[in-house]
């Protein structure tokens, strides 16, 4: 199943992104990537995997554009699950898989999300938010390995990552 991009989601994404950039126009540019051509805000059905106990114990940012590379990453994401879920395969002719993993954390309360993927003249920029629990949060003492993987429209060129960290005050 392919994700459907609602016009409202794209407009909302553009408004949200431009609001956080000091009134920079939605068609702004980035020093690395050049002029912004489009914005993709993943809908819920674009999520390939969202796990808190994955097999990816190191911090990673990965873009997978080839179908042959995806099964190994899928297996790593679902390493903690027995049996692993049936693989969800993006249409690599028109899509790519974007994966962001936080690495292993000493407790619960951590989360990671891929917020958007913007296409630019020289490639794409993936916007990621990492959430960490504040000092007053009660969390589990279990090790966690948060990861988020989404399907996004296929782009060519380099990929840059723009990240922010939010402390969640419970």
pLDDT at 29: 85
Q: Is 66 exposed, middle or buried (0-12, 13-18, 19+ CB in 10 A)?
A: exposed
User: Is 1 a residue whose pLDDT tops 90?
Assistant: no
Q: Express each pLDDT in 128-154 by its tens digit.
A: 999 999 999 999 999 999 999 999 999
Q: 147 pairs with which residues across the strands? A: 51, 101
Q: State the pLDDT at residue 27.
A: 55
CA dist 29 and 121 (Å) reads 9
């Amino acid at each position: 199943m392919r994700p459907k991009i609602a016009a409202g989601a794209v407009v909302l994404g553009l408004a949200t992104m431009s609001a956080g950039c000091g009134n920079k126009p939605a068609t702004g540019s980035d020093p690395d990537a050049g002029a912004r051509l489009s914005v993709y805000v993943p809908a819920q059905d674009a999520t390939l995997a969202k796990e808190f106990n994955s097999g990816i114990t190191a911090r990673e940012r990965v873009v997978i554009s080839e179908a042959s590379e995806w099964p190994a990453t899928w297996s790593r994401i679902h390493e903690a699950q027995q049996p692993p879920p049936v693989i969800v395969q993006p249409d690599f002719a028109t899509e790519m898989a974007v994966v962001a993993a936080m690495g292993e954390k000493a407790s619960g309360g951590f989360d990671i999300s891929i917020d958007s993927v913007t296409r630019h003249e020289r490639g794409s920029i993936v916007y990621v938010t990492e959430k960490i629990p504040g000092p007053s949060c009660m969390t589990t003492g279990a090790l966690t390995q948060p990861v988020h993987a989404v399907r996004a429209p296929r782009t060519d060129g380099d990929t840059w990552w723009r990240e922010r960290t939010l402390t969640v005050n419970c």
